Structure 1
Amino acid sequence: MTDPLSALEAAVQALPDDRTLRVRYAELLADAGRHGEAIEQASVVLREAPEDEAAKAVVRRAALAAAEPPGSTPAAAPPDDRHEDIDWSELEASIANPTEPPFVERVVAEHDEELVAEAGETAEDADPVAELRRETVRLADVGGLEVVKRRIDESFLQPMAHPEIAAAFGKKLRGGLLLYGPPGCGKTFLARAIAGELGAHFISVTLSDVLDRFIGESEKNIHRVFRTAREHAPAVLFFDEMDAIGAKRSGNTFSSFRNVVNQILVEMDGVDSQNDGVYVLAATNHPWEVDAALKRPGRFDRMVLVRPPDDDAREAILRVHLRRRPIEGIDLGDLVRRTKGFSGADLEHLVTTAAEKAMTESIRTGSVRPMRMDDMRAALKEVKPSIGPWVQTARNVAEYSNGSGEYDDMVEWLREEKQL
C-alpha cells in the first residue's frame, strides 16, 4: 500500500501552487511528528497567503509540539473549540524570531561555506544575493516632473551633498525618503537617479529578497541588506513596494510580517545602528498602508508624491519608446494631448499596441511598413489610463485621512487635476 505521506509529497511536487494540497501535507507531517518539515510546508503557504488560517494552525500546533521537553507526551491536536485558555498570539510571538531557528535545519551549499569562511563569519550570517551597483542615471535623465525633481533636490539631495554644512549644524549623514504615487509613474527610476546624483552604490530590495519560509530568516535578511549598505557606504538602500514589506502591523495576524517591520525600525534608528552614509529610500503606491512607525521622524520622515507624467514627461517617454521603431508622420503633440492621465507604463503599452498593429499588417502584406498615426489612434481606443482606481483611493484618503497634513502634496495635485 502506498504511504499517504509519500503520495502527498509527490502530489505537492507535481502541483507546487496548490495551497490546499500543501496544507494537508503539512498536517500529515505534523501528525507524524515531523514538526520541522510541517512548519516548513505551512510557511510556504503563508508566504503566498498570510491569512490562511489552516496553515497558521499547523505552524502553531507543530511549534508547540516541537517545544515539548524530551520524554514528555505531546498533547493530541485539540479541536478548534478547546484550549481557550492558551494565548495563541503570545505563543506565536514567542517562537516567531528565535536567536537560532530550533525547528528546522538548513542545508548550506559548499560555495556559500567558502564565501563565509573568507569573511570570517558563520554560514547563517552570510549575505543573501543583493543587487549592488553604481548608477549612472541622473535627475536630468528624468523627463519632465520638474516639481517632483525640485522637491527631491531641496528636501533630500542638497543636505546630503553638503556634508560639511550638515556637520556644522549637527546633522548626521543619513536619511529616509518615501516616494509614493500611482503605479507605473517612475518611482524606481527616480530612486536610481537619486543614487546617481549622490554618487552612491544602489542596493535594490524587493519583497522576494526579504521574505523567507524559515522562521526568523526574514528578519535576518533585513539585517543583512542594511549591513551590506553600511559596508559599501555611501549607499542608497532602496525598498520597492514598501506597503508590502512594511505593512501596518495592526493588520498583520502572522507575527513574522510584524517582526519584519520591527527589524526595519531597529536597523534605521536602533542604539547600535551606524547608518552614516546610508540613504534609505522606499517606493509605494499606497503610503497609507505603510506602518505609521516607519513614517515618524528619523525614519521615512520625508514623503514626495511622484505624479503621473506631465506634458513634457509624456513627450519624452513617447520619444523613447518610438525611437527604435520604424515610424512615419507621428504627431507627438497630438499624442501628448490625448494621453493626459496616462502613466509611463500606460504609454509604453500604447506604443507597443500600435507597433503590433503595424507589424500584423506588415506580416499580412509581406512588406514592412512604418507605424503611423492611424495605428496610434487605433491603439488609443484600446489602451486607457490605469491609474483610475488609485485616484479614487487617493481622493478618499485626502478627504478623510489627512488630518496630519502628510498628504498635502497629493491634495494639491488632486485639486489641480480637478479630482477633488
Structure 2
Amino acid sequence: MASLRRALEANPDDAVLRLHLAQTLLSGGDPAGAITEASVALRSDPGNGQALGLLAAAATALSTPPASATPGAPAAPVAPAGSAAPPVPAAPAVPAAPPEPGTFDWEQAEHEVGSTVPPPFVERVPVGPLADDDAAAPVEVARETVTLADVGGLDDVKRRLEESFLAPMRNAEVAKAFGKSLRGGLLLYGPPGCGKTFLARAVAGELGATFMSVSMTDVIGPHIGETQRNLKAVFDEARGQAPTVLFIDEIDSIGMRRGALSGGGAAWLRQMVNELLMQLDSMSGDNDGLYVLAATNNPWDLDEALLRPGRLDRTILVSPPDPNARASILRHHLRDRPIAGIDVEHLASVTDGFSGADLEHLAVTAAEKAMMQSIAQGSISPITMDHLGAALREIKPSTVAWLESARNVVRFSNANGRYDDLAALLSGKKRR
C-alpha cells in the first residue's frame, strides 16, 4: 500500500494506478478510502466504468453491516483490477429504509450498529466535551490567526467576500436591524491549488472565529446511520463553539446530485446528502454564529438543493492568481532560501495560469537544482534565474485543463448566471 501511495505521489494523474489503489483499499476492507480514490479518478475521467463500478461497490460495502457481525460469513466479492466494473455484492437482508430526514430513529440505529467512531479533524487544539453524553467524542478545533491581509493578490475575491459575507457578520447589530440572521453559507469554487482552503482560514481569522475543517473521510462511517450521525455531531460541535467557521472541503463528494445516483449504494448516498441539507437548515438546532464555507473544484456536480437560499446561497470563484498574487506567492516561497539576482516581477509575468501550488512547486524544483549544484561543487550555490528558468521548462500550469473543461459548463449550464464570473475569466483567457 505504501508503495502504491508513493507511486501516486510521483504520478498523481495516473488513473490506472489510482484505481488499482482504490481496488486494493476495497479488498482490504477500507471502502471509505476506496471511495476517495475512485472519486479523484472520476474528476479527470467522469465516464470511467471501472471508477463508477468501484464507487458503487464501495458505497454498498459501507451501507452493509460488516462481515464480522456474522461469524463465518464470506468476504464480499470484488473484481480484479483490470475489469471494467467490479460486481456489486448482494446486500444481505436489512431493515426497511429509514423514514424521511428529521424522523430517523437514532436510538434504534445505535442499538443496531453499536458505538461509532468520532470523525477526526485536522486541527489539534482540544476543546471541552459535548453536552450530549451519547454524542461522539470531543473534536479538535483551533482559533485562526490568518487574515485576508495574509492572502496575496486576489483583490476581487477579497472584495466579494467582504461585501457578501464578512461585513454583515462583523456588524451584528446593524445586520439584526435589517432582519439578517447571524449565519451564512458560502461556496468557494475554482481550479485545484488556488487557495480555497487558505481563504477559508483567513475568513475565520477575520471574524475571530473558531475554525473547523471537515472532508468526506472525516464523516463516512461503515455502519448504517453512522455517516448521518457523524455529520450531526460535526454541526453540533460547530454550534457549541460559535462563532465558528465550518469548512467543508470537496463538498461535491458528500453533496453530489441525488438524481444522478444509482446502483447498490444510491440509497445510502442520498441519505448522506439529505442529512447535510437538514443540518444546513438546522431544523433542530440554532445556526446563529455558524458560518459554513464549502469548497469544490466542480460546483456543477453539487445537488441543486445545496445552493438554495439559506444554505450555500453565495458562490465565489477563486481563480488562478493574478500577477500581483503570483509575485507575492513566489516571494513567500523563496524568502527562506538562498537566492541571487531573482527578478520576481518577470517570473510573475511568465507564469500566467499557474496555481499557488504550481508556484510552490516551481520554487521547490529550482531549490533542488541549486542544491544539487551546491553538492557537486562543494559550496552553497544560491538559487538564480537560471535555476528557475530550468524549472519553468519542466513545470506547466495545472489550471489549463480545468479551465478548458469549464468552457462547456459556461456554454450550456449558465442560464441562471451562476457562473458569470467564470465566463468573464474564460473570456479574458480567450482574448489573450
For the Cα contact (< 8 Å) 1:47–1:213, is it kept in 2? no
Letter in 2 for 1:198: L
Cα distance 1:258–1:147, how it changes in 2: closer, same or farther (>3 A)? same
**SS of 1:154 mapped into structure 2:** helix
Q: 1:135 aligns with which of 136, 140, 144?
A: 144
Name the residue aligned to 1:82: none
2:219 paired residue among 210, 219, 223: 210
Matches within 5 A, 1:50-61: 51-52=53-54
SS at match of 2:375: helix
Q: Which amino acid aligns with 1:387?
A: T
Asked if structure 2 preserves the Cα contact closer than 8 Å seen for 1:185 and 1:308, the reply is yes
Q: Does 1:368 align with 2:374?
A: no
Measure, in 2, the Cα distance between the counterparts of 1:196 and 1:300.
20
Q: CA RMSD in A?
A: 3.5
Q: Deviations over 1:356-381 (max 9, x none)?
A: 11111111122111011100000000
2:130, 2:137 within 8 Å by CA — same for their partners in 1?
A: no
Letter of the 1:199 counterpart = G
1:265-414 map, 5 Å: 265-414=277-426
Shift of residue 384 of structure 1? 0.4
User: Is the aligned partner of 1:125 residue 2:135?
Assistant: yes
Measure the CA separation in 1 of the matches of 2:32 and 2:340.
Answer: 55
Distance 1:334 1:47 in 2: 39
Asked whether the 8 Å contact 2:212–2:245 carries over to 1, the reply is: yes
- The 8 Å contact of residues 144 and 208 in structure 2, kept in 1 or not, is answered as yes
Shift of 1:127: 3.6
Partner of 1:280, secondary structure, is: strand
Per-residue deviation, 1:252: 2.8
Letter in 2 for 1:213: P
Structure 1 Cα separation of the partners of residues 241 and 270 of structure 2: 28
- Between the aligned partners of 2:148 and 2:335, the Cα distance in structure 1 is 21
2:173 is matched with 164
The DSSP-based 3-state class of the residue aligned with 1:279 is: strand
Letter in 2 for 1:194: V
Unaligned runs of 5+ in 2: 1-20, 39-51, 71-75, 77-89, 119-125
Contact 2:64 2:224 survives alignment (8 Å): no
- Residue 303 of structure 1 aligns to a residue in which SS? strand
Instruction: Specify the SS of the correspondent of 2:242.
Output: coil
Deviations 1:260-314 (A, max 9, x none): 2111111111432310111111111111111110000110000001111001100
Q: Give the 3-state SS of the residue equivalent to 1:417 in structure 2.
A: helix
Alpha-carbon contact 2:64-2:223 (below 8 Å) kept = no
2:250 to 241, 255, 279: 241
Q: Secondary structure at the match of 1:125?
A: coil
**Shift in alpha-carbon separation, 1:125–1:309, aligned structure 2, 3 A:** same
Shift of 1:54: 5.5
Per the TM alignment, residue 256 of structure 1 is displaced from its structure 2 partner at its CA by 2.5
Match of 1:174 in 2: 183
Q: Secondary structure at the match of 2:331?
A: helix
Q: Which has the larger radius of gyration?
A: 1
Q: Which moved more, 1:313-322 or 1:261-270?
A: 261-270
| Separation of aligned partners in 1, 2:332 and 2:188 | 23
1:201 aligned residue: 210
How many residues were matched structurally?
363
1:381 is aligned with what amino acid?
A: R
Identity %: 50
| 1:18 lines up with 2:7 in the alignment | no
> Helix, strand or coil: the match of 2:430?
coil
Q: Is the 8 A contact 1:145 1:309 kept in 2?
A: yes
Distance 2:58 2:330 in 1: 47
d(CA) in 2 for partners of 1:55 and 1:139? Answer: 39
Q: Per-residue deviation at 1:391?
A: 0.4
Q: Deviation of residue 44 (structure 1)?
A: 7.4
Determine if contact 1:175/1:299 at 8 Å carries over to the other structure. yes
Shift of 1:126: 2.1
1:47–1:101 distance in 2 versus 1, CA, 3 Å: farther
8 Å contact from structure 1 (residues 128, 221) kept in 2: no
Give the residue type in structure 1 aligned to 2:207: L
Check whether the contact 2:189–2:317 (CA below 8 A) recurs between aligned residues.
yes
Q: 1:187 to 1:22 in 2, by over 3 A?
A: closer
CA contact (8 A) 1:22 1:45 kept: no
Query: Is contact 2:117–2:136 with CA below 8 Å preserved after alignment?
Result: no
Q: Which moved further from structure 2: 306-315 or 259-268?
A: 259-268
Question: 1:250: Cα distance to partner?
Answer: 2.0
| 1:28 aligned partner | none
Residue segments in structure 1 that go unaligned for 5+ positions in a row: 1-14, 24-40, 68-76, 78-85, 110-114
Alignment partner, residue 269 of structure 2? 257
What's the offset of the Cα at 1:119?
5.5
Residue 144 of structure 1 corresponds to 153
Shift of the 233–316 alpha-carbon distance from structure 1 to 2, 3 Å rule, reads same
1:184–1:419 distance in 2 versus 1, CA, 3 Å? farther
